[in-house]
Amino acid sequence: MEALGAFGGVLIIFAIIIGILWIILPFAVFGIKERLDRMITLLKQNNEIMNRLIKKPQTNSSEVKAENEIKLANAHNWLCKNCGEENSYYKSKCVKCGYNKD
């Protein structure tokens, strides 16, 4: 050991650590393989679902879009405390009486 010096001792310890890791490596690879296979299966199922949704005919898409926009717009409207008028969310003053919501 003295012939190799301190550098030789570090080199031997490094070689032992690499040897241990080399022995453990196949178990880690095969453990990950099952997870990867499961992820691939789930991705294929997801792709099938997405393809079915894309191919599904859209009926009344403009009506559905308009209905969703109305629901979204009404969700943020506010009522005037003074006159009870419903006002748009982006206006700070009541359209009917001029009451300031802030």
Print the domain residue range for 82: 62-102
Is the full-model pTM beyond 0.85? no
pLDDT bracket for residue 90 (50, 70, 90)? low
Same domain, 68 and 83: yes
Instruction: Read off the amino acid at residue 42.
Output: L
Instruction: Read off the amino acid at residue 98.
Output: G
What's the number of domains the chain is made of? Answer: 2
Pick the more confident residue, 20 or 8.
20
Q: Hey, which residues does 4 pair with through a beta bridge? A: none
Q: Which of 21-30, 46-55, 78-87 has the lowest mean pLDDT?
A: 78-87
Same domain, 77 and 43: no
Same domain, 47 and 66: no
Same domain, 41 and 79: no
Same domain, 46 and 7: yes
Same domain, 51 and 4: yes
Same domain, 52 and 77: no
pLDDT tens digits along 18-37: 999 999 888 888 888 888 88
Pick the more confident residue, 80 or 70.
80
What is the average pLDDT value for the chain, to the nearest integer? 78
Same domain, 79 and 41: no
Determine the pLDDT at residue 65: 59
Checking if the pLDDT of 16 tops 90, the result is: yes
> Per-residue DSSP letters for the chain?
-TTTHHHHHHHHHHHHHHHHHHHHHHHHHHHHHHHHHHHHHHHHHHHHHHHHHHHSPP-SHHHHHHHHHHHHHHHT-EE-TTT--EE-TT-SB-TTT--B--
Checking if the pLDDT of 4 tops 80, the result is: no
